[in-house]
Structure 1
Amino acid sequence: MSSSETPGSPSATPRGPVDSSRIPRYAGPATFARLPRLDEVGTTDVAVVGVPFDSGVSYRPGARFGGNAIREASRLLRPYNPAQDASPFALAQVADAGDIAANPFNINEAVETVEAAADELLGTGARLMTLGGDHTIALPLLRSVAKKHGPVALLHFDAHLDTWDTYFGAEYTHGTPFRRAVEEGILDTSALSHVGIRGPLYGKQDLTDDEKMGFGIVTSADVYRRGADEVADQLRQRIGDRPLYISIDIDCLDPAHAPGTGTPEAGGMTSRELLEILRGLASCNLVSADVVEVAPAYDHAEITAVAASHTAYELTTIMSRQVAAEGSAIKHSAEARGAAEGAR
C-alpha cells in the first residue's frame, strides 16, 4: 500500500487473513480471523481490540481470558460471509489491535485506561470491535464513541438489564454500565433497547427504573414467539439512522449455546437467533460494538467462544460494508465534482 492510500479509500487494497490453503488454520499466531496486526498495516478501518479485564464481575470470574478464546475460535472464520453476501476483509481493512492492558486491581483506573485507549483508536478514524472482558468495559467505550458521534443509540443484548445502581457500594461494575451511561448523557435515550432479557430480578422496581431511563425490552421469549425477522424490524425502526453502538453480553444466549460465561440464565436465545437479528441490522449506522463476558474456563469444547467469534464476524461485516459504502460515496462525489468542473 502506498503512503498516499489509506484503508477504506477506493484505491486501497486491504490486507486480509492468512491463506489457509497454504498455512493450516491451527498454525501461526491467533489474531482475530487470522487477520494482520495493526502494526503490520499501519492504519485500519475496523480495529479488533481485546480488553482482558474482569474485576467488575459479581459472580464467576474468567472473562479476562475471553478475548484470546474468541481469537482462537475465530481461526475457523472464512473470508466470505454468505449470509450478508460480503467479503468483509476485502471491503475494508480490518486488523487486530492487540489488547488494552487495564489495571486488574483498580476498577476506576481500568475504566480510564480503556477510555483513553479507545480515544486513540477512534481518533484514527477506525471503528472498534472490542472483545471483552466483562461488561464494565462498555462504559468507557461508550464514553469514547460519544466524544466522536455525540449521544449514540444503544442496542444491548444480554440476559440482564445492567442498569443497576451499585454493587457493594461500587458504581463501576458489570451490572451498572448503562445506568452510568444514561446519567452521563452519552446515550440517545430515544433509541435504547435490551434484547434477550430474562430471569429473576431483585424486584419490580428494576423494570420501572429501567423504563424511566428510556430502555425498551425484547425478552428472549419475545424472540422465540415473534421470530428474529420481526424483532430486527422493530429494532431498526427504533434505531433509525442514528449512530449505533451494539453491546453483546454472550449470556444473552441460552447456556446450551454459551455455557462459558459468568452469570448464565436458563431460557435464552439460540446462537442462530442472535446471528439472524444482527444480520437484520445490516442497514443500521453501526459505529462500534463489543462482545463480552466470554469465560473460557466454563466453556465446553469452545461452544461459547465459537458463538462469540461468529457474532463478532457479523458485526465486523456490517462495519466493513459501511466503510466500503462510504468510500464509494466519497468516490462518486469526487467524480461528480470532476464532471461538473469539466463542464464549466
Structure 2
Amino acid sequence: MSNSFFQPVPGTVLPRFAGVPTFMRLPYLPPDDPRVGEVDLGFYGMPWDGGTSNRPGARHGPRALRDASTMIRAEHAVSNVRPFEAMNCADLGDVQINPVEQDSSMAAITKFVGEMLARDTRPFGVAGDHLCTLPVLRAIAESGVKPALLLYDSHTDLFPPYFGSPVLTHGNPFRMAVEEGLIDCERSVMIGMRGTMYDDSDRVFGAEHGITIIPMHEAFEAGLVATVERAKTIIGDAPTYFSFDIDFIDPAFAPGTGTPEIGGPTSAQTLDMIRAAGGLNFIGADLVEVSPPFDNGGITSWLGASVMFEMLCLMAH
C-alpha cells in the first residue's frame, strides 16, 4: 500500500491549473531526498530529441506532459484501479542531458535509470525521441535482466544508423538493442507498423532475430484486442518493457509528433489495446515522441498523459 506522502494533490484541494506541475501531481523528489528509496515506480523526464530525423520538438515533451497530466485523477474509470494507493509513485525529475551531445546524454540516461533499478524502483520514462529508450534498455541489461519488448509504434525502429554516419537516431534504438543483446527477441512483439517504407530491411532484420512484427493492417484485420492477446501469448510471463510511441495513434488524434503516419487507431481503440495488455509482467515503460510545437490545442499532450495513466494502471497490478 502507498504511503500517504506519495498521493497526488487532489483537484478539490488545489485547482489543477495552480501549483508547480509534476507528473500526475505527484510529489517531486530530488536525488538526495531520503524518501527516494521508498518509491516503487518513478516517473522521470528525458528531454532529448537530438536523434530526431524529421520534425523536432520532442525535447519539450516532458514539460508539456507534466502540465497535461495535472488533469489525471486517482481512479481508473473502467477497472477501478487506484494506482497511487497500490504503490508509491513520485516524479523524480529530468535526466540532466546535454542537448547538443549524444554520447554523454545517452550515458546520463543509463546512469539515472540504473540508480532507480538499484533501489528496486520501476522506471517510467517520459521523452523525448525514441532513441531515449536505448539507454534505458542498457541500464536494465546492466541490472541483470533481459526483458521482452512490447512496442506500440508506427515504425519498427530497427534500421541501421542513417546518412552513412555512426551517430544514432530515433530510427535505430531497437536495431542497436538487438545487436547489443539487450532484449529477448523471441518474446518481443511490435504492433502498429504502417506507412510508406524505404524498403523492408527492418522487418526482415526483426524476423531473422525472432521478433514478432504485427503491421497495423494485420491488427485491424485480426481485431485489435485479439492482436494484443496474441502478443501476450508470445510474451508469456517474461519481464517486459513497454514502450509506447505516440505516433502509434492516428495523427487525427495525436498530431503533435515528429513522424506521423496515417491509418492508425483512434484514441478509444488505443485505450482498448493498452487495457488488453493487462497481466503482463511490466518492469518498466516509457511514452515518447510527443512534440508540443506541432500539437493542436494540447490534444496530443493530453492524450499522451492519458496513455501514461493507462499504462500505470497495468503496472499497478
- The two structures have a TM-score, normalised by structure 2, of 0.94
Secondary structure, in 3 states, of the residue corresponding to 2:186?
strand
- Corresponding residue to 1:76 among 54, 71, 76: 71
Aligned length: 312
Does the 8 Å contact 1:163/1:210 carry over to 2? yes
> What is the distance in 2 between the residues matched to 1:184 and 1:63?
26
Secondary structure, in 3 states, of the residue corresponding to 1:38?
coil
Asked whether 1:316 is paired with 2:312, we answer yes
Identical columns (%):
37
- Corresponding residue to 2:196 among 196, 200, 216: 200
Asked whether 1:269 is paired with 2:265, we answer yes
Q: 5+ residue gaps in structure 2? A: none
Q: Residue by residue, what CA displacement relative to the aligned partner does 1:76-96 show, whole Å, maximum 9, x if unpaired? A: 111001223210001111100
Give the CA deviation at 1:13: 4.4
What letter corresponds to residue 192 of structure 1 in structure 2?
A: S
Poorly superposed stretches of 4+, deviation over 3 Å: 39-42
> What is the distance in 2 between the residues matched to 1:272 and 1:146?
34
> What is the distance in 2 between the residues matched to 1:251 and 1:83?
25
Pairing 1:1-344 to 2, within 5 Å after superposition: 12-13=3-4, 15-39=6-30, 41-42=35-36, 43-168=38-163, 169-321=165-317
Does the 8 Å contact 1:14/1:92 carry over to 2? no
Q: Residue by residue, what CA displacement relative to the aligned partner does 1:224-275 show, whole Å, maximum 9, x if unpaired? A: 3333321121111011000000111110111101100001111112222222
Pick the structure with greater CA Rg.
1
Identify the range of structure 1 (267-276 vs 116-125) with the bigger mean alpha-carbon deviation: 267-276
Secondary structure, in 3 states, of the residue corresponding to 2:124?
strand
> What is the distance in 2 between the residues matched to 1:92 and 1:204?
42
> What is the distance in 1 between the residues matched to 2:54 and 2:120?
36
> What is the distance in 2 between the residues matched to 1:229 and 1:208?
25
Give the CA deviation at 1:149: 4.6
Residue aligning to 1:340: none
Q: 1:83 to 1:146 in 2, by over 3 A?
A: farther
Give the CA deviation at 1:181: 0.5
Q: 5+ residue gaps in structure 1? A: 1-7, 322-344
Secondary structure, in 3 states, of the residue corresponding to 1:137?
helix
Q: 1:88 to 1:149 in 2, by over 3 A?
A: farther
Does the 8 Å contact 1:45/1:320 carry over to 2? no
Does the 8 Å contact 1:38/1:47 carry over to 2? no
Give the CA deviation at 1:282: 1.6
Secondary structure, in 3 states, of the residue corresponding to 1:190?
helix
What letter corresponds to residue 190 of structure 2 in structure 1?
A: H
Q: 1:84 to 1:170 in 2, by over 3 A?
A: farther
Secondary structure, in 3 states, of the residue corresponding to 2:251?
coil
Secondary structure, in 3 states, of the residue corresponding to 1:291?
strand
Give the CA deviation at 1:171: 4.3
> What is the distance in 2 between the residues matched to 1:236 and 1:204?
25
Q: Residue by residue, what CA displacement relative to the aligned partner does 1:171-196 show, whole Å, maximum 9, x if unpaired? A: 42111010111111111011111111
Does the 8 Å contact 1:247/1:289 carry over to 2? yes
- The two structures have a TM-score, normalised by structure 1, of 0.87
Q: Residue by residue, what CA displacement relative to the aligned partner does 1:93-121 show, whole Å, maximum 9, x if unpaired? A: 11001100211111111111110111011
Identify the range of structure 1 (286-295 vs 145-154) with the bigger mean alpha-carbon deviation: 145-154
Identify the range of structure 1 (60-69 vs 41-50) with the bigger mean alpha-carbon deviation: 41-50
Secondary structure, in 3 states, of the residue corresponding to 1:301?
coil
Does the 8 Å contact 1:250/1:292 carry over to 2? yes
